[in-house]
Structures are given as C-alpha cells and as structure tokens.
Amino acid sequence: MNAMTLKRPLTVFCSVYEKSGLIPLLEPLVRDFQAQIVATGGTAKHLQAAGLPVIELGSITGFDQLLGGRVKSLHPTVFAALLASENTGRLPDPALLALPFYLDVAVVNLYPFEAGYQERISGKPDVDLIELIDIGGVSLIRAAAKNHAHVSILTRPQQYEEFLASFKAAKQAALEQPALACRQRWALEAFRHTAAYDATIAHALSETLAIPEPADALPTAMTLPLIQAQPMRYGENPHQAAALYSLAGKPLPFRVLQGKALSYNNLLDIDAGWALVREFNDGDQGEIACAIIKHNNPCGVAISEKSSLEAYSRALEADPVSAFGGIVCLNHPVDEETAKAMAALFLEVIVAPGFTPDALAVLSAKKNLRLVTMPLTDVRSDALPAIKQLGGGLFLAQKRLLNSSEENVPQSLSIPTRCQPSPELLEDLRLGWKVAKHVKSNAMVLVKEGQTVGIGGGQTSRIGALELALNQACDAAKGAALASDGFLPAVDNVYAAAQARVGAIIQPGGSIKDPEVIALADQLNLPMVFTGVREFKH
C-alpha cells in the first residue's frame, strides 16, 4: 500500500470562541472512533482541562501565535490539510505526502463581532470592534466549506448532534464521512455564516466610522446581514412559510407583554401604525396620537392634547366598523381608562410605549390580546435604503422618507389660492398630510378637528379615492381638510370636494393642470395649500 492510500486516523480540527457543546461532540469521537484532535490556543486548553487528548497546533507549525494572537491558524500546513484529500488516491502535489495529518472535520466559530457591535450601540464606546474582526476563523471555514466533498465543516453548536448521528450512520455503512447531502448543507451554512459576518462588519463600520456619503447616494453593492430572530407560524397566508429577521442580529425593538405570538400580518400592521404615530411629538410632551390599522392601512386616526382615552375614542369613532379586529398604535402610555375602552372591542394588538399596572390588570382578562411595547425612537436605520423585492431576483432600493413630514413640508408650503385657510384648518391640513403619507396610493384623507372622518386609499384613480373618503365622511366632510398624497390631475376632484363643502385642500402641486385647478378653487372660494412634496406609498 503506497503512502497516498495509507489509512490515517480520523482527525478533527477545532478552533472556536463559543465552546458550548464541544466536549459532548468530541468525547464519543475519541472514545468510539479513536479520533485525534488538533486545536489552537484557548480551545486546546479547554479540551485538555476536560481530559481529552489534544495535539496543539503550535507543536506542528512551530509557533503558538504571532502579533499578540492575531495569527494562530494562518499556516500552510493547516490549509493544505483542509483542502487536500487522500481519499481520492490522487494528491496534486507530492509535498502533501509529508503533511502530518489530513483533516476530516473542522469545528470553527468566530470572534463575537456581532455581540461587540451590540455592546457598542448600547452605550459602550470602549468596545474595540477592530480587534473583534476574525481573520483566521473565516479563512478556515471557507477552506473547509470549499472542500466539503471530503471535509465536514461545523460552525454552530446546534449542528453537533446532527453530525454525530450522521457520522455514526456513515460508519455503520462502512463510509468515511457523513452523507454528502449533510456536508453540502453544512458547507452552505458555513458560506452564509461568513457572508453574514462580513456584512455585519461592513454595516457596523459604516455606522461607527461615520464616513460621509453624498445625501442622495446609494451604495454600489449591498449585503445585508439578516439574522433569523424567530420563525413565524406562517406568512400572509397559511400555506406560506415565514420568519422574522433582524439586521446584524440586533435585539428586537418591541416587547410582547401578553397574548399570542405576533403573526406576519401583525408585524406588517404594527410597522405601518407605529410609523404613523411617530410622526407626532412624544405624547408626554405634545400631541397624543392614536392610529387604528387594518390590512396595513389606517382606518381611523386622531390626536388629542388631553388624554390617550380621547385620542383612542376619536380614532375609533372615525371608523368603528373597520376597527373590529384591528391593531391600535398609541404614542402615549395606556392608562386604566383607555384600557377599559379598548377592552370593549375585539382587537388583535395594542402597541404603546408602555402600559400602567392598572391598564395591564384590565387587559389581562383578554388572554389572546397581544400587548406590545415599542420605543418612540426611530428603530429603523436611516443609513439603509428602503428595499423592495421584484421578481426574477431583482430589487429596488431608495432613500427612506424623512421620519416626520414636519421636517420637509413647512419650508415648502405655499398657498396659491386667494382664499387662505384658517389656523384651525391649517392644523387639520397638516394632520391630513401626515396621515395620507401612510395610506396606500392613491390616497385621499379627510380630517376635521384633529380626527380623520374619511379615508380613501389604494385606488386606481384619485377621484375614486376621494369618492370613498367622501362616502365615509358623509356630513362630516363639511368644513373638513382634504389631503391628497399626489397632485390633483383634473378639476373633477375640486368639484367633488366643493360639492361636499370641504373646507380646504392640501396637495403636492406640480400638475400641468395646476392653473385650472387653482382657478376653479378660487372661483369656489376653496383654500388650497401646495406642499411641493409628493408622498406616494405603493
């Protein structure tokens, strides 16, 4: 038997930061299959302390570590042993015959860059992210994954049990390695793991290094480190699998205090409603805002300077039929009186910055009702563009809308009509504009005295959206403020608004029909405000 086909012992290479589960993985391999273990630094000491026989890598390569630990496993012997295969009977380089071992299994995980990043953003500026960037581990994982035809690569403790079962089954079938399908899956997980790791580093450094970029620039390439936070029961429909992912493994921004697990559709509606109520000042210091969401659209919105109860009651009054089974978002803590009012209606979720103990006591009687707390600070990263997936592996990306319409509207407001809106109407126009921003286009929103009275959204024509809003408002349209998320393309909208005796209109302007629209508004003594900004939501 020549040297190229000599049987060698099963050899496992270990270099891990996360050491949980490692001893239970290796003990049966040594005991039952006479495996030899090659390990680096701290991993070797951990295994020796457990009584396992270990070959320290430094005894083979001739050095323990260099540059204060930055270089340990980056050595030709290690990578040749990972990338070669004696099982084929063909070694491409005679020098490989002198290798002290060939690696059958690589158990490698990485420095906790993600955890260090979380510490950094949670208020620990002394965390040195640069020193947490793993170099050797990533290279080892990629080499082993590339040679998965002959090497099993394990990157997570959760894989260890499956590996042992697969390895034992292979030995019973007189095979040297677990099934190829298993090795392929572990290799794919390994490449995904290193890709997410590198993407996390890029994302973290883009935030912490504060490199200036043009305001309107988008990156030439984007790799988002999306880590699965929790599986969902299903997606929009029961036959669709779904899961929730967080960016760079960040903690989830919300906390579920009671009730069933949040569903895919719950999360969509929570995101829509929370973005809307965040348009207003903190309820403790300014306007208390309440939005009731149904199928990703607001069906009732109201503000109050007095109480969360008033804001909720007026939002419910706006459309009590659609509110049934909806989601309530409030930018102010829920107190006992508000909780009692909410308990009278079937709701899926209530979201607020907090709940008083008395409110929790009231709502705890509804066991399935989900109570969620959410911070009022913006939980979405402004550094990242908004992304939508198209078919065929295509994605659209754009800069996000500003967090509040107040940031971009007042500077560009103009009143092209002779008739001016009253201060009270102007406040309702601003409210309508904020709400319209969160209604599916075409969107037309009627607001009266701090409360929506009619919402028409998701229509293929603007006049159709306006008719929906007017039909819902009925007599309440009289004197109301009308907000349009896009310009008015024809005078029919002005005629319809005037017939319903609407008090004023706010719209972006910019249509070639603007002169006709303004002239008719002047003729009908209907004040009109231009924002100069469009707020489509598709």
- What are the residue numbers of the active site? 146, 295
**Token pair for 331:** 């930018």
Nearest to 193 by CA among 217, 226, 237, 230: 226
**Token pair for 338:** 């508000």
Q: What is the dihedral of CA 303, 308, 309, 315, to 10 degrees?
A: 30
Q: Which amino acid is at 431?
A: L
Separation of alpha carbons 466 and 435, rounded Å: 15
DSSP string, 499-512: HTT--EEEE----T
DSSP string, 309-355: HHHHHHHHHH-HHHHTT-EEEESS-B-HHHHHHHHTS--SEEEES-B
Exposure of 480 in the CB half-sphere (CA atoms within 13 A): 29
Helix crossing, 76-83 with 136-146: angle to 10°?
20
Confirm if 311 and 333 have CB atoms less than 8 A apart.
no
User: Which residues, at least 6 apart from 202, have a Cβ–Cβ distance to it below 8 Å?
Assistant: 223
In which residue are the tokens 């005629």 written?
A: 495
In which residue are the tokens 């295509």 written?
A: 394
Phi, psi for 119 (deg, rounded to 5): -65, -40
Confirm if 108 and 197 have CB atoms less than 8 A apart.
no
| Edge-to-edge strand list for the sheet holding 481-484 | 255-258, 370-373, 349-352, 327-330, 288-294, 297-304, 451-456, 444-448, 481-484, 504-507, 528-530
Separation of alpha carbons 177 and 367, rounded Å: 50
Quick one: residue 532, left, alpha or beta (phi over 0 = left, psi -120 to 50 = alpha)?
A: left
Separation of alpha carbons 267 and 248, rounded Å: 19
Separation of alpha carbons 73 and 471, rounded Å: 72
